[in-house]
Amino acid sequence: MRRWREWLARGARGRTLDLGCGTGRNLPLFPKEARAIGLDPSPDALRRARQRSPSVPLVRASAQALPFRDGAFETVVSGLVFCSVPDPAGALVEVRRVLRPGGRLRMLEHVRATGAFRARLQDLIQPAWTRIAGGCHPNRDTERTVRSAGFAIEEEGRRSKGTMRRFQAAPSRDRFTSSSEPGATRTAP
């Protein structure tokens, strides 16, 4: 897990959004040339992130309404976030919008089991699990959602172990979103 987290952060290039940065565990791992901004809806998590990395700008907001202009970032990083985002498809529309052409989405996520029995088990425990685990959904097929949102997942660097996945994805050109998307009228800090 530590190695996967390092892979996630070390591959960041240029202006980087750490989406759902939580307490900031990725922040010290970004390369110097990646100018990182952390974003999370939780003020408590952001307070801890501030202690961990005092010089990194932090923004309180949701992935579904990003307060940045179109094409503001070269990299968006998501570490264990899309299991708990209320509207993953909507959040990915926003990620596409704020990524500049040629930008990359880098993800480390736990996902729906590939075996039918385990997936069914995840479906069964999901309602109770979501209630006790801070909104986490153990049964989301996040790679499928990423592809449906118009991203191509790159084979290079992709790893799959049990229900854990790490990968990098590029927005496909034909679906670059316009400024009519939610949050598009807000400006970058």
Ligand X SMILES: C[S@@+](CC[C@H](N)C(=O)[O-])C[C@H]1O[C@@H](n2cnc3c(N)ncnc32)[C@H](O)[C@@H]1O
| Pick 47 or 175: Cβ nearer ligand X | 47
User: Tokens for 93?
Assistant: 């529309």
183 binds ligand X (CB under 6 A): no
Q: Which residue has the tokens 């996520």?
A: 109
CA–CA distance, 160 with 157 (Å, rounded to integer) = 10
CA–CA distance, 176 with 14 (Å, rounded to integer) = 20
The residues in 63-102 that bind ligand X, with binding defined as CB under 6 A, are 63-64, 79-81, 84-86
| Pick 31 or 101: Cβ nearer ligand X | 31
CA distances 19 to 80, 94, 128, 175, Å, are 10, 11, 25, 21
| Pick 57 or 115: Cβ nearer ligand X | 57
Residue type, 51: Q
| Pick 19 or 113: Cβ nearer ligand X | 19
How far apart are CB 106 and ligand X at their closest, in Å? 11
Which residues bind to ligand X, rule: CB under 6 A?
A: 19-22, 25-26, 40-42, 45, 62-64, 79-81, 84-86
